[in-house]
A = this chain, B = another copy of it.
Amino acid sequence: MIVVMKPGSSQKQIDHMIERIEEMGLRSHVIVGTDRTVIAALGEKRDGAKQALETGEGVEKVVPILAPYKMASTEVKKERTVVKSHDLKVGNCHIGIIAGPCSVESREQILEVAHIVKEAGAAGLRGGAFKPRTSPYSFQGLKEKGLQLLAEARAATGLAVVTEVMAPEQVQLVAEYADVLQVGARNMQNYPLLEKVGEAGLPVLLKRGPSATLDEFLLAAEYILKTGNTQVMLCERGIRTFEDHTRFTLPLATVPYLHQTTHLPVVVDPSHGTGKASLVATMAKAAIAAEADGLIVEIHPNPEVAMSDGFQALTPPAFRQMMQECRKIAAAVGREM
- Mark interface residues in A297-337 (1 if CB within 8 Å of B CB, else 0): 00000011111111101000000000001001101110000
Assembled-state Cα–Cα distance A215/B75 (Å): 33
Known interface pairs A63-B2, A138-B48; A213-B243 also in contact (CB < 8 Å)? yes
CB distance from A32 to the nearest CB of B (A): 8
* B7 x A252 contact (CB < 8 A): no
Binding site for B on A (CB under 8 A): 2, 4, 7, 20, 29, 31, 33-36, 38, 40, 42-44, 46-48, 51-52, 54-56, 63, 65-66, 68-70, 75, 132-139, 166-170, 186-187, 189-193, 209-211, 213-216, 219, 222-223, 226, 239-246, 249-253, 255-257, 260, 273-274, 276-279, 282-283, 285-291, 303-311, 313, 325, 328-329, 331-333
Chain B hits for A69, CB < 8 A: 135
* B47 x A42 contact (CB < 8 A): no
CB distance from A131 to the nearest CB of B (A): 9
* B51 x A136 contact (CB < 8 A): no
- Known contacts A34-B42, A47-B135, A55-B311; 15 additional CB pairs below 8 A are A38-B40, A51-B311, A52-B304, A136-B223, A167-B167, A167-B193, A168-B168, A187-B189, A239-B249, A242-B242, A246-B251, A256-B283, A282-B290, A286-B290, A328-B332
Assembled-state Cα–Cα distance A313/B55 (Å): 9
* B65 x A4 contact (CB < 8 A): yes
Assembled-state Cα–Cα distance A166/B63 (Å): 30
Known interface pairs A47-B135, A332-B331; A52-B246 also in contact (CB < 8 Å)? no
Contact of A285 among B55, B223, B289, B309 (CB under 8 A): B289
CB distance from A64 to the nearest CB of B (A): 9
Chain B hits for A242, CB < 8 A: 211, 213, 239-242
Residue of B nearest to A249 (CB): B251
Assembled-state Cα–Cα distance A280/B182 (Å): 31
Assembled-state Cα–Cα distance A219/B255 (Å): 32
* A63 x B66 contact (CB < 8 A): no
Chain B hits for A223, CB < 8 A: 136
Assembled-state Cα–Cα distance A213/B247 (Å): 13
* A210 x B213 contact (CB < 8 A): no
Chain B hits for A313, CB < 8 A: 55
Task: Identify the 5 closest CB pairs spanning chains A and B, nearest first.
Answer: A211-B211, A289-B289, A186-B189, A167-B192, A286-B290
Assembled-state Cα–Cα distance A158/B249 (Å): 38
Known interface pairs A33-B65, A290-B283; A52-B305 also in contact (CB < 8 Å)? yes
Chain B hits for A274, CB < 8 A: 253
A-B CB contact pairs (8 Å), 26 listed: A33-B65, A35-B44, A38-B65, A40-B40, A51-B308, A54-B311, A55-B303, A68-B134, A134-B216, A166-B190, A166-B192, A167-B193, A186-B189, A187-B190, A211-B239, A214-B245, A239-B242, A249-B249, A253-B273, A253-B274, A256-B279, A260-B278, A282-B290, A285-B290, A286-B290, A329-B333
Contact of A282 among B43, B54, B170, B256 (CB under 8 A): B256
* A252 x B219 contact (CB < 8 A): no
* B244 x A241 contact (CB < 8 A): no
CB distance from A221 to the nearest CB of B (A): 10
